[in-house]
Structure 1
Amino acid sequence: MIEIVSTSACIACDVCITVCPTDVFDRGDDGIPVIARQSDCQTCFMCEAYCPVDALYVSPVSAPAGPDSPHSDEATVIRHGLPGGYREMVGWGRGRTSGALRDRNPLLKAVPPLPESRLPAPAPLADSPWNHPSG
């Protein structure tokens, strides 16, 4: 369940608001998203996966963590390197090598010429923009 939106790390890009399938976030007066409907969170991790600056933390528990839980304490979560951890785990986050850089497929330098089709046109071709008699 979503637990933390780091106001110090967030760049107010609204990506988390956009990708959340259950509309958990509202845009705050300062532009920073706020967790408005935490009980609607499905723990899908979409917000954390798409956050470009790792400003979100979704607890792997599907119930609110509570005030005494380390999952709701931003300093503890940051100290353990958890913000953006899901994004890193799926290969979108810190230390990743872009898939395009790992691609070993040969580059296609030119498209080979294709012979003209021997099939008839599927419909009669018009000589003008309108395919109906004038007048």
Structure 2
Amino acid sequence: MIELISTTKCVNCNLCVKVCPTNVFDNADGGIPVIARQQDCQTCFMCEVYCPADALYVAPEAEESVFIVEKEVEEAGLLGNYRKAVGWGKGRKPAAVTDTTYFMLKALRG
């Protein structure tokens, strides 16, 4: 479930608003988007993966909202964590390239 939009990292691009399939976010005039319908979040990670600033945190196993402290989430390296794992963003590689199955399939394909 979406838990956090970082007030310090968000660049107001509103991509999270545009890509969310369940309309969880609202635009805020002159400010960062607002998590308006958190209970509608399906934990699909679309918002997090499209965020160019790694300003979002989606709790992967939360079915109900959990208490989040932005500073702690940032210090733990969890902001944009899913985006990092899939390799989106400049200079990143998908975690799959470190998986032995990836190398096995690559070798089989020649």
Is the 2:26–2:36 contact (alpha carbons within 8 Å) kept by the matching residues of 1? yes
| Structure number, greater radius of gyration | 1
Is the 2:3–2:66 contact (alpha carbons within 8 Å) kept by the matching residues of 1? no
Q: CA deviation at 1:30?
A: 2.6
Correspondence 1:19 to 2:19 = yes
Is the 1:48–1:56 contact (alpha carbons within 8 Å) kept by the matching residues of 2? yes
Cα distance in 2 between the residues matched to 1:95 and 1:65: 32
TM-score (norm 1): 0.64
TM-score (norm 2): 0.78
Cα distance in 2 between the residues matched to 1:77 and 1:64: 17
- Unpaired runs of 5+ residues, structure 2, are 94-110
Q: Which has the higher helix share?
A: 2
Runs of 4+ in 1 over 6 A off after TM superposition: none
| Percent identical residues | 59
| Paired AA for residue 89 in structure 1 | A
Is the 2:25–2:36 contact (alpha carbons within 8 Å) kept by the matching residues of 1? yes
1:53-83, Cα deviation, whole Å (9 max, x unpaired): 000000012323333xxxx111110010000
Match of 2:105 in 1: none
- Unpaired runs of 5+ residues, structure 1, are 98-135
Match of 1:39 in 2: 39
CA root-mean-square deviation: 1.8
Structure with more relative contact order (C-alpha pairs < 8 Å, separation 6 or more): 2
Correspondence 1:74 to 2:62 = no
Is the 1:6–1:74 contact (alpha carbons within 8 Å) kept by the matching residues of 2? yes
Paired residues, number: 94
Cα distance in 1 between the residues matched to 2:66 and 2:88: 29
